[in-house]
Amino acid sequence: MRCETMKKWLSDDLDGALAPTKKARLEAHLRGCPGCRADWACLARLQSSAAPAEDRSPEYWTGFEERLGSKLAGIERGRRTVCVPFSARRKWAWAAAGFLAIAMAGTYFAVSRAAGTVETAWVSYEDSLAPLLQEAEANPEFGSLVNREILASIEELTPVPENELTVPSADDPLFWEGLSEDELRYIALELERETGRGGLK
Amino acid sequence: MDESPEHDLVEDARRGSREAFAGLVRHYERRIYGLVFRMAGNHSDADDLAQEVFLTAWRSIASFRRGSSFYTWLYRIAVNTALTFLRKRSREKDRTEFNENLAGADAADGAYTSPEGSSALNELKGRVDEAIESLPGHFRMSFVLVVSQGLSHAEAAGILGCSENTVSWRMHKARKLLQARLKPYLGEVRS
């Protein structure tokens, strides 16, 4: 347990991170512990073997800086020539997409509504008349009935000429209700003159 | 340009001066390269990562807060770039986890069976590099920052965004893992 603690301190000491008081205790322990001394030698050898890699040639660093410089210039050029147009292009793309969506939606509703109307009228006509006409052709009695109904409906829809209009008679109660005060007074005077009775009070 | 104080270079770079930023690159390129090389384990990836670190720094230098340490900020970018790279590579290659038996398997291949001899030092350095590369990401990063880059625990903690105690603990664990893996070359490990 004590040796484990010392190994941790040994690691800190190799990094120059061990407090002076602990360093003194570590050195005292190493003097009396061959195992920890061997570990210390082992770690010191590891430390020296893990030295930084050898520096590269001056030509390498010149090339490194040149390549980096050209990449940095590329970034600047990219910012100027790519980024701004891309943002403007993106705005136009959004606008075009919105316009297209609205146009497609409008077209869809227009076509679907028109198609629905035509289809409904066609289906209604087919559903109502076609079966009746087919049955009328097959059944003469039913055919005559259909003919009468059709003629009656045509007559109802045909305007009646004025000379064929019927004049209401005095027997019709509606006749008297439809007369004005002047017309009633005129009728009463005529009746008094013809019959000697009645008249206006 | 390099003789200008770092503060002035940073301020000029924040205002968009590529010349000033180039001065900062010249000042830090070796340290950043050394860090990412230790994390990547090869010069090709280290070159790409170092370029990426400085490109990221250039893109975001306007967000660098005045008064804070530029090198800490730059190191944070390097650490994040390297850790992201390691995670990506780990997913792609399904790299093997660190395991203590690997050293025994390696010892059997004959190439490094004897650490003694004229090439023992080079062999050991190669083995140490391999062992460091196989450490888990955060252990490796702490080890590289402290041992390879020579930073203090406090500086490493500031870059990694953790406490000094965490760095100290990671260093201790990293050394134990390396010791275990390099047992045939460094000597017996006592628990």
Nearest-angstrom CA–CA distance, A31 and A9: 15
**Averages of pLDDT over each 10 residues, chain B, 191 residues:** 71 90 94 91 92 94 83 93 88 58 45 49 79 88 90 92 93 92 68 41
Is the Cβ pair B22, A47 closer than 8 Å?
no
The reply to whether residue B18 touches residue A72, judged by beta carbons under 8 angstroms, is yes
**CA–CA separation, B16 and B11 (whole Å):** 9
CB B79 within 8 A of CB B159: yes
Q: What is the secondary structure of B12-69 as a DSSP string?
A: HHHTT-HHHHHHHHHHHHHHHHHHHHHHH-SHHHHHHHHHHHHHHHHHHGGGPPTTS-
CA distance A194 to A12: 148
Q: What are the structural domains, with CATH classification, of chain B?
A: 1-95 (1.10.1740.10), 97-191 (1.10.10.10)
Is residue B38 within 8 angstroms of chain A, CB to CB? Answer: yes
Mutate to test the interface with B, among A42, A45, A47, A62 (most CBs of B within 10 A): A42
Q: What is the DSSP string of A33-68?
A: -HHHHHHHHHHHHHHHHTPPPPPPPHHHHHHHHHHH
- Hunting for tokens 């606008």 — which residue is that? A95
Between A46 and B49, whose confidence is greater? B49
Q: If DSSP codes are grouped into helix, strand and coil, which group holds residue B166?
A: helix
pTM, two decimal places: 0.57
The model's pLDDT over A3-45, given as tens digits with 9 standing for 90+, comes to 888 989 999 999 999 999 999 999 999 999 998 998 888 888 8
Q: What residue of A is the nearest CA neighbor of B23?
A: A65
The answer to whether A50 faces chain B, any CB pair under 8 Å, is yes
Q: Residues A36, A6: contact at Cβ < 8 Å?
A: yes
Token pair for A3: 């040796």
DSSP string, chain A: -HHHHHHHHHHHHHTT---HHHHHHHHHHHHH-HHHHHHHHHHHHHHHHTPPPPPPPHHHHHHHHHHHHHHHHHHHHHIIIIIHHHHHHHHHHHHHHHHHHHHHHHHHHHHHHHHHHHHHHHHHHHHHHHHHHHHHHH-HHHHHHHHHHHHHHHHHHSPPPGGGPPPPPTT-HHHHHT--HHHHHHHHHHHHHHHS-----
The answer to whether B116 faces chain A, any CB pair under 8 Å, is no
Convert the pLDDT of each residue in A132-156 to its tens digit: 777 777 888 888 887 887 788 777 7
User: In a mutagenesis test of the B interface, which of A2, A9, A15 is the best target, namely the one with the most B β-carbons within 10 Å?
Assistant: A15
ipTM above 0.85, yes or no: no
Mean pLDDT score of chain A, rounded to an integer?
76
CB contact under 8 A, A64 and B164: no
B168, B175, B176, B182: which to substitute to probe chain A, counting the most A Cβ within 10 Å? B175
